[in-house]
A = this chain, B = another copy of it.
Amino acid sequence: MTKIAILGYGTVGSGVYEVVKKNKDVIAGKLGDEIQVKYVLDLREFEGDPVQEVLVHDVDVILNDAEVAIVCETMGGEHPAYEFTKRALESGKSVCTSNKELVEKHGPELIRIAEAHDCSYLFEASVGGGIPIIRPLRTSLAQEEILSITGILNGTTNYILTKMETEGLAFDTVLARAQEKGYAEKNPDADVLGLDACRKIAILTSLAYGKKVDFEDIVTEGITAITDVDFAYAKKMGATIKLFAKSVKKGDKYYAIVAPFIVKPENPLYAVKGVFNAILINCNMGGETMYYGKGAGKLATASAVVADVLDCARHIGKHLDIRWEDQKLAISPVDGAVRRFFVRVPLADEPRIKDIFGEVEMYTDIAAGECGFVTEEMTEAEYRDKAAGFGSVLSMIRVD
- Which A residues form the contact surface with B (CB < 8 A)? 18-20, 22-23, 26-27, 29-32, 124, 130-132, 135-136, 139-145, 210, 265-266, 268, 270-273, 276, 278, 283-294, 297, 299-300, 302-304, 306-307, 309-311, 314, 321, 323
Contact = CB atoms under 8 A, between A and B. Distances in A.
28 contacts: A18-B285, A22-B284, A23-B143, A26-B144, A26-B145, A29-B323, A30-B143, A130-B286, A132-B289, A135-B136, A135-B140, A136-B136, A139-B310, A142-B310, A143-B307, A268-B272, A268-B276, A270-B271, A271-B271, A285-B302, A285-B303, A285-B306, A286-B293, A286-B294, A287-B300, A288-B294, A289-B294, A290-B291
A139 B287 contact: no
A293 to B, nearest CB: 4
A135 B139 contact: yes
B19 A310 contact: no
Contacts of A299: 285-287
A31 B143 CA distance: 9
B293 A144 contact: no
A131 B136 CA distance: 10
Given A286-B299, A288-B294, 12 more contacts: A29-B210, A29-B323, A30-B323, A135-B135, A135-B136, A140-B307, A265-B271, A268-B292, A271-B271, A286-B294, A286-B300, A286-B304
A271 B268 CA distance: 7
B26 A307 contact: no
A314 B318 CA distance: 11
B307 A139 contact: yes
Contact of A314 (B131, B270, B310, B321): B321
Task: Give how many copies assemble into the complex.
Answer: 2
Contacts of A314: 321
A22 B270 contact: no
Nearest to A306: B143
A22 B314 CA distance: 32
Contacts of A139: 132, 135, 139, 307, 310-311
A189 B20 CA distance: 45
A310 B143 contact: yes
Nearest to A323: B30
Contacts of A307: 139-143
A30 B285 contact: no
B283 A303 contact: yes
Top 10 A-B residue pairs of the complex, sorted by shortest distance between their CB atoms = A271-B271, A132-B140, A289-B293, A286-B303, A130-B286, A290-B292, A143-B306, A285-B303, A286-B300, A30-B142
B140 A124 contact: yes
Contacts of A268: 271-272, 276, 292
A284 B23 contact: yes
A77 to B, nearest CB: 24
Contacts of A306: 143, 285
A51 B321 CA distance: 32
B292 A287 contact: no
